[in-house]
């Protein structure tokens, strides 16, 4: 298995477009690896570094894992991929099961960080959290609150992470 390096500036648009059906965010704490589907995130430049910002609800197991280990991979489908895996990983909790094994996905050793990539979602960003910020629901536009938050509070944390490596996993 090889990893073809990519320039994230050239593929940022492809990653943003892939969020519509869903991409995966994978975390690791101790020996436990967990992945969840995300549809909210962005790529940019901050502090003169390439950054991926992921928004994760505080009640999610992934949030707990990110607090323990501030590293994650972003896993993006390329070509054919197991579409059902996105729905499965987005609807089950890693607290209760090994979601990656249940979804039939294959872990791939990372290059720099401690969190593996996923062979079936080969465009991989290895990310290390530099900053995090709790969302302030009092600052949100009322339309956004009504449209996206059915609970009393908008409880996402924004994880600003440096993209320390980017590649496509190939056979």
Least-confidence region, from 11-20, 114-123, 134-143? 134-143
Classify 2-170 by CATH class.
mainly beta
Read off the pLDDT of residues 63-82 as tens digits, 9 standing for 90 and up.
Answer: 999 999 999 999 999 888 87
Q: Which of 52, 59, 48 minimizes the C-alpha distance to 162?
A: 52
Classify residue 107 as left (phi > 0), alpha (psi -120 to 50) or beta. Answer: beta
pLDDT band at 142 (very low <50, low <70, confident <90, very high): confident
Q: Which of 65, 34, 49 minimizes the C-alpha distance to 157?
A: 65
Please state the pTM of the whole predicted model.
0.92
Least-confidence region, from 38-42, 44-48, 62-66, 162-166? 38-42
Domain boundaries, the chain: 2-170
């Amino acid at each position: 298995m090889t990893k073809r390096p990519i320039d994230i500036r050239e593929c940022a648009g492809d990653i943003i477009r892939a969020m519509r059906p869903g991409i995966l965010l994978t975390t690791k704490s101790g020996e436990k690896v967990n992945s969840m589907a995300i549809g909210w995130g962005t790529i940019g430049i901050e502090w003169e570094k390439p950054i991926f910002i992921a928004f994760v609800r505080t009640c999610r197991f992934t949030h707990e894992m990110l607090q323990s280990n501030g590293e994650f991979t972003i896993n993006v489908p390329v070509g054919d991929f197991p579409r059902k895996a996105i729905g499965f990983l987005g609807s089950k909790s890693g607290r209760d099961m090994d979601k990656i094994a249940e979804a039939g996905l294959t872990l791939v050793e990372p290059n720099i960080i401690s969190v593996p990539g996923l062979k079936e979602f080969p465009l991989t960003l290895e990310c290390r959290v530099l900053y995090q910020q709790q969302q302030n629901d009092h600052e949100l536009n009322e339309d956004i609150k009504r449209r996206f938050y059915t609970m009393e509070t908008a409880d996402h944390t924004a994880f600003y992470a440096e993209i320390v490596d980017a590649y496509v996993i190939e056979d």
